[in-house]
A and B are shown apart, each in its own frame.
Chain A
């Protein structure tokens, strides 16, 4: 679409150059003789009415050098050369600026601002506040604050665009802004129709605070968190209900910060207070921080940031417990500021970390928990159960009878002297012998011996049960330990294997790039320019009608199918294609774009991080095995001691009885 011929307000011709960009309302053109300004020309559906022309005129009247440095502020009206109607305006040109979401979104930042670290974002936040400050000082509001209307340069300078949609107060009138994006619309305005809403500075301050929050909190929206309540509220509802996801009170309205993001612990309390004043209930009454309040606090934050010892690309607030970016990555989150410090263009396996894992593993040799019964035996040998008097008495009688029997038997030879003596001795030995035998066979001593033997057998069995339990515990522990150790080794091998996979991936990308480059090379060679035997103009036209136009289109089946192209002609074409291919050169070093390489590196680093996190978890489990086993064994000790004491007692009792035999 060609733009209309334009003049400036004084009727002088105003020539345009090429189209720079198109928006919903109009097109933005470069100027033929001014590289520092551009023209916005409204499209047919958005021709300015009297209101709009008044608004533009008022904006132009407000223009001053400060506004012109922080916004693409309108400076001049542009008229249609024939109708003399206002169809556009002139404004300063932004060169090298990108939309602010491309900075706060970590995935996009990798491409748009690859060297921007956290302090860069803090600086951009301060510059954004400064830009809002200027606009507010001029009595205007940005009104339609959003992720695209603030633009950021490679030096973190911020410019506001789309100034013709600002809310402007002039000549006692309010020129409204009729649009808005919900994420930047304060709770109290959600669902309202902007056509009839006069916005206030407090509303603008909400949008500003959201953008600052997004810059500081890896792109998260303040009302983006984990909702802990029932139901499934959409985010409009979350905003309307002031459900700010950060800060000390968030839990009281059922919100928790989203996973893998910084929290209020990672920012100074002054900054946290400003966010709470912007997003918590009550902020609608006018308490949201003015742009001027953000400035000193953000500057202070930038100055109090320190570089991380592990990665110079990480910067964080000095008052925090440590580097938040390392902490998030170590917990399996993204590496938000990977590669911000120059010189990390490739992926290498972090062998130092793996060595560390191995060292930790080496200190985790399995404990043997060797069992030694003596350790649990009572200090003092047990006092044997004494033998009772009955036993003694019985023994004495038995002894006397035994002696008497023996005496009688020994007395029998006296029968040679007198027969009578023999009879007496025989009778005596029979009586005493039987008596002795009866006493001996019904001995309570024997009973006692049997009893004590039985007691010992029981004690042995009881102890064996407990010792078996001990053995099982130790075995389970050793088996678990061995399994986990093997798993750790396997994981380490897999992690080391990432290096190989990474190289393979690069190779694949290179090969892809080569295929694409080859195809492009073929496409550069047009059939019409080529000298091919027997293929003249008319044959080339036939080929063209079958969409065979460049060397890339030449394929045996495709050509052979065309009427009039036999083996010979097709072969000639294929020979030509081969000749074209022979001139193809490819530089593998330049094959992969830095962005692509970086994305691959990030992916592999993330995977490695995942492995390291899992390894850490594995080692922690491994470390917990020994104390867990020890605790279990400890629980067996009282029973064990009792059982051993019982056994020793039984043995001592038995010994005592035997000694007497």
Chain B
């Protein structure tokens, strides 16, 4: 038994449930600040963001606002199910300008949905690599603490294309390898404006990228929490056999 005991371990030991870890890998580049509804007045200015020109308006709901709302609904739904709340673990990693771990892994019961702000470029490859690293490290911690776990999920949402010189080809290779070895399941969702050509190359052929219908982020997160609930209640290890409800309603292939 290890004599050095880092503080976080106590939380791992007092909750013996098998874990169902999930990284929410969210695009927070400047384009996510685009207004999707309820725009106010045109203020007659323009601004360059993420390679595109936008008109500045007052008020309105942006893509990132919708994501934030979706995160809240996601948290609430998981916490409506006390078993899922102790089994599902969430980490939020964002990429907008830089890659940031906004929230390290915590159980859904301890998860406070962050309020994300959009700005900057789209360092997609670095973000994917960081998510894979986070998942690998978490699994190591589970093993040290003798906890069972389900196959981790990486849920990747983007509305853009990688920056120039981005490490996405390397990230793609890692995703393929990870899927092949069943180290994690990588789900990609492209929002209007995403480069699906590259997304298809990143994803494993078994799990092709989905296209978000409009800006139905809320429905997407609801689907995610429902899917994780059913995975966490049924037979871990056999996730492939758990029938996830098809993502109709918010996505198309």
Contacts and interface: CB of A to CB of B under 8 A. Distances in A.
A complexed with B: yes
Contacts of B16: 104-106, 214, 218-221, 224
A220 B16 CA distance: 6
Contact of B10 (A183, A220, A334): A334
Interface in B76-95: 82-83, 86
Contacts of A108: 15, 82, 86
A595 to B, nearest CB: 12
Interface stretch (B25-33, B140-148, B172-180): B140-148
Contacts of A183: 18, 148, 236
A561 B59 contact: yes
Given A183-B18, A234-B237, A225 B146 contact: yes
B13 A334 contact: yes
Contacts of B234: 181
Contacts of A232: 139, 143
Interface stretch (B1-9, B47-55, B122-130, B188-196): B1-9
Q: Is the interface of A mostly helix, strand, loop or mixed?
A: loop
Nearest to B85: A108
A106 B15 contact: yes
B143 A227 contact: yes
A224 B148 contact: yes
Contact of B237 (A99, A182, A219, A245): A182
Contacts of A147: 83
Given A106-B14, A183-B18, A561-B40, A260 B9 contact: yes
Given A227-B143, A259-B9, A613-B5, A236 B15 contact: no
Contacts of A218: 13-14, 16
Contacts of A182: 235-238
A259 B16 CA distance: 11
B146 A258 contact: yes
Contacts of A106: 14-16
A444 B98 CA distance: 89
A407 to B, nearest CB: 91
Nearest to A331: B5
Given A220-B146, A232-B143, A102 B82 contact: yes
Contacts of B109: 107
A606 interface: yes
Interface in A73-124: 99, 101-102, 104-108
A335 to B, nearest CB: 8
Contacts of A256: 1
Interface string B42-69: 0000000000000000110000000000
Interface in A206-239: 214, 218-221, 224-227, 232, 234-236
A245 B17 contact: no
A235 B7 contact: no
A259 B59 contact: no
A148 B83 contact: yes
Contacts of A234: 148, 237
B31 to A, nearest CB: 26
Contacts of B59: 561
A519 interface: no
Interface in B100-139: 109, 139
Contacts of B10: 260, 332-334, 606, 610
A289 interface: no
Nearest to B146: A258
B18 A235 contact: yes
A257 B14 CA distance: 15
A382 B234 CA distance: 89
B13 A259 contact: yes
A597 interface: no
Contact of A107 (B86, B144, B148): B86
A607 interface: yes
Contact of A235 (B13, B145, B237): B237
A336 B10 CA distance: 10
Contacts of B1: 256, 259
Nearest to B182: A234
Contacts of A333: 5, 10, 13
A295 to B, nearest CB: 25
A106 B16 CA distance: 8
A561 B146 CA distance: 58
Contacts of B139: 232
B83 A101 contact: yes
Contacts of B7: 606-607, 610
A257 B238 CA distance: 25
Contacts of B83: 99, 101, 147-148
Nearest to B41: A561
Contacts of B143: 226-227, 232
B148 A105 contact: no
A232 B139 CA distance: 10
A181 B242 CA distance: 12
Nearest to B14: A334
A103 to B, nearest CB: 12
B15 A105 contact: yes
Contacts of B15: 105-108, 219
A69 interface: no
Interface in A155-188: 180-183
A261 interface: yes
A221 B148 contact: yes
Contacts of A332: 5, 9-10
Nearest to A237: B237
Interface string A578-619: 000000000000000000000000000011001001000000
13 contacts: A101-B83, A107-B11, A107-B14, A180-B235, A182-B236, A183-B148, A183-B236, A236-B238, A260-B9, A333-B13, A561-B40, A606-B7, A607-B7
Interface of B: 1-2, 5, 7, 9-11, 13-18, 40, 58-59, 82-83, 86, 109, 139, 143-149, 234-238
Interface of A: 99, 101-102, 104-108, 147-148, 180-183, 214, 218-221, 224-227, 232, 234-236, 245, 256-261, 331-334, 336, 561, 606-607, 610, 613
Top 9 closest A-B pairs, CB basis? A258-B146, A219-B16, A332-B5, A334-B14, A235-B148, A260-B13, A236-B237, A107-B15, A182-B235
Given A104-B16, A106-B14, 12 more contacts: A99-B83, A105-B15, A108-B15, A148-B83, A180-B235, A182-B236, A232-B143, A258-B147, A332-B5, A333-B5, A333-B10, A561-B58
